[in-house]
């Protein structure tokens, strides 16, 4: 895989009225990947994104896009990326085509270039039939498609998406995911913020979990889950009196990390279920414990989030979103 660095955020800090929205944040995005910034509202995702699109000046630290500083070379940086803001960044009185024409002029395309590009984009996002209706008649999914077409108009190397599927129905959501995967297949670098775990899990090559303005952890969804320490095996047995001796027999076996006794069984963190299960079953057999129920699951991104932030994303207090 290409390891060229497309985006470099280095020790970024942004303070509003004494409140640190972003606090010593560093990460890098490789060219051609889908990179996610995952975190609850107010975690600093938007602030980071707005710095990257040159609309915020960092209090300290730097951010660069394809090697160009977002403050010193802001004008140049603005020509390099496309931006898809959160939904509603649409002028309800303009038609879809007029949105694209406006942006065509702002990116200094000639009339011919713009006409050609707009036709391609409308086709890509399947809005050709609706292109000449005012955007106020669009559904949420259609607005989102128009948003994405607008982001793609400059034919950018990098696309920034802010909460691309916020508030969309399931179908539209899957459609948007398809587009994003297709863009990656075309070699585009995609950076997106999200507060949906499944979105980050399914879509992102790598992601940074952000909370309280800091990067808590960074890596591919698979890496992050593995790093958490393998799988969790839960079992319940009939002979609850023998739980103590069963726990003792299992503890210390290869591939077993920790053993927790519950009321009717055990919760065992294992390095890998494949290696640990035979040992567990053998021990149970030897002690004559009949298994009532056994289940194991791989750590989910939710477990990763909890491990690194100490809370579930669902519970994370929707702190005030700063600008």
> Site residues (CB under 8 A) for other proteins?
50, 53-57, 75, 78-79, 81, 83, 85-86, 88-91, 93-94, 98, 101-108, 134, 150, 154
29 or 224, CB closer to other proteins? 29
6 or 103, CB closer to other proteins? 103
Return the CA Rg of the chain: 24
Distance of CA 228 to CAs 127, 186, 200, 298, 318, Å? Answer: 43, 33, 17, 10, 25
Count other Cβ atoms within 10 Å, centred on residue 244.
Answer: 10
Minimum CB separation from other proteins for residue 117, in Å?
14
80 or 212, CB closer to other proteins? 80
Map tokens 């004559």 to a residue: 288
Minimum CB separation from other proteins for residue 182, in Å?
22
107 or 298, CB closer to other proteins? 107
Minimum CB separation from other proteins for residue 13, in Å?
15
The three-state DSSP-derived secondary structure of 107-149 is CCCCHHHHHHHHHHHHHHCCCHHHCCCEHHHCCHHHHHHHHHH
Minimum CB separation from other proteins for residue 214, in Å?
22
Minimum CB separation from other proteins for residue 103, in Å?
7
Q: List residues bridging with 126 in a β-sheet.
A: none
Distance of CA 61 to CAs 9, 49, 121, Å? Answer: 8, 14, 36
167 or 288, CB closer to other proteins? 167
192 or 301, CB closer to other proteins? 192
Minimum CB separation from other proteins for residue 31, in Å?
20
- Please spell the DSSP secondary structure of 178-206, one letter per residue: HHHHHHHHTT-EEEEEE--HHHHHHH-SE
């Amino acid at each position: 895989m290409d390891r060229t660095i497309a985006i470099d955020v280095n020790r970024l800090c942004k303070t509003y009225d004494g409140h640190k929205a972003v606090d010593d944040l560093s990460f890098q995005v490789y060219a051609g990947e889908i990179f996610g910034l995952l975190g609850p509202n107010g975690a600093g995702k938007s602030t980071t994104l707005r710095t990257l699109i040159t609309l915020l000046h960092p209090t300290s630290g730097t951010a660069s896009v394809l090697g160009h500083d977002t403050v010193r070379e802001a004008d140049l940086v603005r020509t390099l990326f496309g931006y898809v803001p959160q939904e509603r960044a649409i002028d309800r009185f303009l038609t879809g085509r007029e949105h694209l024409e406006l942006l065509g002029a702002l990116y200094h395309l000639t009339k011919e270039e713009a006409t050609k590009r707009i036709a391609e984009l409308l086709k890509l996002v399947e809005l050709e039939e609706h292109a000449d209706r005012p955007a106020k008649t669009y559904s949420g999914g259609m607005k989102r498609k128009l948003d994405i077409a607008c982001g793609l108009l400059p034919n950018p190397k990098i696309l920034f998406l802010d909460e691309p599927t916020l508030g969309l129905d399931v179908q539209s959501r899957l459609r948007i995911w398809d587009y994003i995967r297709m863009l990656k297949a075309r070699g585009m670098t995609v950076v997106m913020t999200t507060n949906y775990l499944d979105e980050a899990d399914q879509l992102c090559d790598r992601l940074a979990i952000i909370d309280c303005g800091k990067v808590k952890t960074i890596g591919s969804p698979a890496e992050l889950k593995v790093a958490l320490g393998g799988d969790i095996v839960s079992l319940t047995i009939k002979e609850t009196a023998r739980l103590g001796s069963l726990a003792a027999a299992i503890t210390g076996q290869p591939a077993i990390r920790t053993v927790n006794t519950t009321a009717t069984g055990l919760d065992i963190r294992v390095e890998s279920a494949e290696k640990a299960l035979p040992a567990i079953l053998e021990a149970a057999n030897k002690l004559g414990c009949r298994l009532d129920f056994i289940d194991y699951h791989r750590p989910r991104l939710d477990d990763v989030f909890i491990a690194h932030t100490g809370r579930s994303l669902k519970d994370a207090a929707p702190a005030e979103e700063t600008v």
